[in-house]
Amino acid sequence: MSTHPATKTFSLEYVKTIGMISAGGSGVGGRGFNNPVGLDVSSDGRIFVVNRTQIRVCICNMDEEFLGDFASGLGSENGQLHLPTAMAFDSQDRLYVTDEMTHRVSIFDTEGNFLGKWGEQGDGDGQLNGPSGIEFDSEDNAYVVDQHNHRVQKYSRDGDYLLQWGEFGDGDGQLNLPWGIGVDADDNVYVADWRNDRIQKFSSDGRFLASYGESGDGDGQFNRPADVAVDRDGYMYVADWENQRVQVLDSDGVFQLQLRGQATLSQWADDFFAANPDEGEPRSRSNLTPSMPPHLDTPYHAASQSESLFWEPICVTLDRQGRLYVTESRRHRFQVYQRT
């Protein structure tokens, strides 16, 4: 399944898949990703991917050139990551990476140099308990999802605490283990309210504006949404994590389409099979989208057995050209789509 346009005005076209699992065991091994959880694109179009296993930030481009990595290896020292969760660039190409183990935000330049950090564990103003999603507004203010405190905190780009909103609950403005976050062209903030199965929209000072979605697997319903991105026209792209799909809603929350994934072999994967025909040849004779027996007929199990489908889409990112990048933590890759 690919796209299901609900209107004539919105559609997405699959572009390509980039990535594969990186080589090596616990060490770090060159080209590839390993459980990627966050992605963002620098102003020069380079793609930065942060990995949860074989921890590091990888750099590549749309031509599938692997350009290097930094922050390699697990640790809590300056410039190291322990359990990275998400990342985002500010307007000056400074990359901010959240880490739910160290409860802080680390800052790097595009060459991987460590620039600074903020955050400590706690529930006071500016303190963090499991930071996850992060995004910037037009004035370079950072919004950080503070998952275990069930709130969002707003900082200056240097980490000065500005304000916060949210508390545990399922009412308007309340949150339950929120995860990803997006900001629209008007600096409104959208939060993936993960365990409430909805997206909530707030003003930049935290005033509740709207809520989209409810629990379920139908159009416009969510099952543990992990991330949200908003384009210049207000379309919301939601990583509907447990439904193993991406949904697009318009600015009023009206369902537009869903993506289930249509991954093809990346260049790196092609290279792998060329070098390993003992796997490539039987793969070419295989049915890679099998039907499931009833007890495994769920999006999760279907994704685990079908290579082309999204498996745990964890991050949605839009670049300056309006391309959509869907990062799949379990398939060690991202799929790229283009609005048409």
Partner 1 sequence: MSSDDLALMAHLMRRAGFGATRDELEAYVANGYEATVEDLLHPRDRGNLPDDVIRRYHVAADENLSIGTVKWMYRMITTRCPLEEKLTLFWHGLFATSYFKGNQARTQMNQFNTFRRHALGSFRDLLVQLSRDPAMIFWLDNNDNHAGAINENYGRELLELFSMGEGNYTEEDVKECARAFTGWTIGNVDYMTAKGLKDSFSPYGRIAWHYEYVPDDHDDGQKTFLGETGRFNGEDAVDIIVRQPATAQFISRRLFQFFTADEVDEEGEKVVEAMVQAYFDSGYEIRCVLRALFTSPYFKSEQARFARVKAPVELVVGAARLSGSYREPTLDIDAVQAGATFMGQAIGRPPDVSGWNEGDEWLDGGTVMERVNFAAKEIGDVSKPGIRAIIDRLTTDNDGVLSPGDLVDRCLDLLGPLPVSEETRDSLTSHVAEHGDLHLAGRRQGGESEQRVGELLGLIAATPEFQFA
Gap between the Cα atoms of 319 and 98, Å rounded: 20
Report in angstroms how near the CB of residue 38 gets to partner 1 at its nearest.
11
Among 312, 313, 324, 326, binds partner 1 (CB under 8 A): 312
Rounded (10°) CA dihedral 305, 309, 311, 317: 170
Output the smallest distance, CB 275 to partner 1, in A.
10
CA distance 21 to 47: 16
Return the number of the residue (283 or 339) whose C-beta is nearest partner 1.
283
- The footprint of partner 1 on this chain (CB under 8 A) covers a number of residues equal to 50
Cβ of residue 322: shortest distance to partner 1, in angstroms? 26
- Contact with partner 1 (CB under 8 A): which of 332, 334, 336, 337? 332
53 counts as binding partner 1 under rule CB under 8 A? yes
3-class secondary structure, 235: coil
Cα dihedral sign for 65, 261, 36, 230? positive
Q: How far is the CB of 50 from partner 1 (least distance, A)?
A: 12
Q: Around 132, how many Cα atoms within 13 Å sit in the side-chain half-sphere?
A: 26
Residue 94 or 150 with smaller CB distance to partner 1: 150
Element (H, E) at 145: strand 142-146
How many CB atoms sit inside 10 A of residue 226's CB? 25
- Contact assessment for residue 165 and residue 206, using Cβ atoms and an 8 Å cutoff: yes
Site string for partner 1, 70-109 (x = CB under 8 A): -------------x----------------xx--------
- The nearest distance, CB 199 to partner 1, in angstroms, is 17
For residue 207, the SS3 value is coil
333 binds partner 1 (CB under 8 A): yes
Q: Smallest distance, Å, CB 185 to partner 1?
A: 29
Tell me if 9 contacts partner 1 by CB under 8 A: no
Stretch that binds partner 1, among 62-70, 154-162, 181-189, 294-302 (CB under 8 A): 294-302
Q: 100-135 burial string, b = 16+ CB within 10 Å, else e?
A: bebbbbbbbebebeeeebbbeeeeeebebbbbbbbb
Among 110, 298, 305, 338, which residue interacts with partner 1 (rule: CB under 8 A)?
Answer: 305
Q: Which of 179, 190, 237, 334 touches partner 1 (CB under 8 A)?
A: 179
Read off the tokens for 60.
């590549």
> Are the CB atoms for 155 and 141 separated by under 8 Å?
yes
Instruction: Give the integer Cα–Cα distance in Å for 331 and 308.
Output: 9
Under the binding rule (CB under 8 A), the answer on residue 67 touching partner 1 is no
Q: Does 301 bind partner 1 (CB under 8 A)?
A: yes
Contact residues: partner 1, CB under 8 A? 20-21, 23, 35, 37, 52-53, 83, 100-101, 177, 179, 194, 224, 226, 242, 263, 265-266, 268-269, 272-273, 276, 278-279, 282-283, 285-288, 290, 292-293, 295-296, 301, 304-307, 311-312, 314, 329-333
